[in-house]
Amino acid sequence: MTSTDDLRDRSAHHRAAVERVREHVCALHTELTRWDLVTWTSGNISARVPGTDLMVIKPSGVSYDDLTAQDMVVCDLHGDLVEGRHKPSSDTDAHAHVYRARPDIGGVVHTHSPYATAWAARGEPVPCAITAMADEFGGDIPVGPFARIGDDSIGRGIVRTLEGHRSPAVLMRGHGVFTIGATAKAAVKAAVMCEDVARTVHLARQGGPVERLPQEDVDALYHRYQNAYGQ
């Protein structure tokens, strides 16, 4: 196992990369408040530092208005502090587990956005009833198991739930939203879109039953969006 001292040495060697990720992760937190995905100091974003066994994550309990790049905390992929003047987020172990289990993941986001968290409180997946869901999530947004905060239990639930799913979002039961992405920005986008479709489908259900799109249409829409949409 790599020692924390070794990781500190590697952190110094990769100083430029670490500082770039700190700045990027700090800036991305403004998107959480911009899209009303968090309240007070809740929620967090992390990103893997490319070429290292390190991650950068929001500090615990620091106001979004006060966040600076230097407030971002550097940890190893077991959640141990490597560098930072604050304690890391209470969700650090969950994020770290996702990175250990999924080398393809470069960013993780956690929010308590109200509509999506309401589905999580009911323990109910958001059904893929609109094209925006098919495009972004490739199906329903699944529900993961309830797990207490403080160790990697949430991370294990995230990984197990998303195995075999195209969705980059999971509703952790009784808790909130976790999203993943190849980059931290992609994970933030997934969090924004998760709240948007959770709200839309909720509003639709106020008028009556909502039918899931046929699977063949979901597959076709997902393929088009992922492979042909945009520039």
Number of domains within the chain? 1
User: How is residue 52 written in tokens?
Assistant: 């290292």
**Exposed/middle/buried for 204, CB within 10 Å: 0-12, 13-18, 19+?**
middle
Give the pLDDT score at 12. 63
Contact 102, 159 (CB under 8 A): yes
**Exposed/middle/buried for 164, CB within 10 Å: 0-12, 13-18, 19+?**
exposed
Contact 119, 209 (CB under 8 A): no
Angle at alpha carbon of residue 136, lines to 212 and 200, rounded to 5°: 55
User: How is residue 41 written in tokens?
Assistant: 């100091």
Q: Which residues contact 67 (CB under 8 A, 6 or more apart)?
A: 26, 29, 58, 59
Choose among 228, 138, 124: nearest CA to 190. Answer: 138
Give the pLDDT score at 207. 98
Give the pLDDT score at 229. 87
Give the pLDDT score at 3. 62
Rounded Cα–Cα distance for residues 73 and 149 (Å): 19
Rounded Cα–Cα distance for residues 180 and 35 (Å): 17
Instruction: For residue 191, give the amino acid letter.
Output: A
Give the pLDDT score at 9. 64
CA 9 to chain centre: 28
**Which residues does residue 151 pair with via DSSP β-bridges, in sequence order?**
149
CA distances, 43 to each of 17, 168, 183 (Å): 24, 17, 17
**Mean pLDDT in each 10-residue stretch from start to end of the chain (231 residues)?**
61 83 98 98 98 97 97 98 96 98 98 98 98 98 97 98 97 98 98 98 97 98 93 74
Which structural domain range is residue 9 located in? Answer: 4-227
Write the DSSP symbol of residue 139: S
Rounded Cα–Cα distance for residues 200 and 179 (Å): 19
**Which residues does residue 146 pair with via DSSP β-bridges, in sequence order?**
none
Give the pLDDT score at 205. 97
* CATH number for the domain that contains residue 100: 3.40.225.10
pTM over 0.85: yes
Contact 75, 47 (CB under 8 A): no
